[in-house]
Amino acid sequence: MARVFVSNRQVVVPGDPIAEGSDVVVESPYIERIGNRYYAVVIGLATVQQEEGRVRIGLIPLEGAYIPKQGDVVVGIVEDIGITHWEVDIRSPYRGILTVQEALDRPFNPATDSLQRYLDVGDYVVAKVVAFDRTRDPLLTIKGKGLGRVTDGVVVEIKPSRVPRVIGKKASMINMLTSETGCEFVVGQNGRILVRCPSRELEEIAVLAIKMIEREAHTTGLTDRVREFIRRERERRGAR
């Protein structure tokens, strides 16, 4: 039998009890079990779903640094160039490493060629984390569909903990942003979002909408409010 101590989407802080019992399914790494009780380990929004004798609990963090995971898509900035690799800022305590093998589809000779020809310091890249185990810096790749050097658009930074809210349940928020603005969004799990829009006016509206989501991530009914904001701004600016 499960017992729940919080309501769905209630804000919790570290140490708050969320639930107890044997029929509890945990769907977040930010919940710790002590004995038969489950506690929050970060500040965030608790999620509670009751179903046929079981309770599913989760926790959407509202604060915290980005910790890489294998398979994550990130938007990084080239910080330094070595002989056969680039060092990439991914807004994490760990620095991303992009090797020449994970960037180029051609042979590379460091004696006669320079990595600066392909990616320079300050360049933005959309990359994927291919390996990370906390004993070494995460390895990145820019080989794959949608990956590579950023050549257009604008990059918006939000708190990494707000990324799930920008995406939304079953991608509801990001799909709404795309349909209402006509823009393309590449959401990095590290809190950098690449925005490409048909016009400067739509780009400005999209950026304001993302910042609104970050600011009001803890509130309910946010998708509808952001949709209304976008429509209102498009009408006011004459953005089509």
Domain identity same for 211 and 187: yes
Q: For strands 31-34 and 17-20, give the pairing.
A: unpaired
CATH number at 171 reads: 3.30.1370.10
Whole-number pLDDT of residue 61 = 81
Whole-number pLDDT of residue 109 = 86
Q: Rounded distance, CA 191 to CA 30, Å?
A: 18
Whole-number pLDDT of residue 182 = 95
pLDDT per residue of the chain (240 residues) written in tens, 0 to 9: 789 999 998 989 999 999 999 899 998 888 999 999 999 988 888 999 988 778 999 998 877 788 899 999 999 999 999 999 999 999 998 999 999 999 998 888 888 888 999 999 999 999 999 999 878 899 999 999 999 999 999 999 999 989 989 999 889 999 999 999 999 999 999 999 999 999 999 999 999 999 999 999 878 899 999 999 999 999 998 877
Domain identity same for 163 and 232: yes
43 CB-near residues (< 8 Å, 6+ apart): 11, 12, 13, 14, 61, 62, 63
Domain identity same for 165 and 224: yes
- If one counts every other C-beta atom within 10 angstroms of the C-beta of residue 99, the result is 16
Please report whether residue 66 resides in a domain: no
Q: End-to-end alpha-carbon separation of the chain, Å? A: 55
Out of 149, 169, 191, a domain closes at: 149
Whole-number pLDDT of residue 91 = 94
Provide the domain limits for residue 100: 73-149
Domain identity same for 166 and 225: yes
Residue 96 CA to its chain's centroid (Å): 16
CATH number at 138 reads: 2.40.50.140
Out of 149, 173, 196, a domain closes at: 149
Whole-number pLDDT of residue 223 = 95
Please report whether residue 170 resides in a domain: yes
Whole-number pLDDT of residue 191 = 95
Please report whether residue 68 resides in a domain: no
Domain identity same for 159 and 227: yes
Structure token digits, residue 111:
């004696």
Q: Are 190 and 122 in contact (CB under 8 A)?
A: no
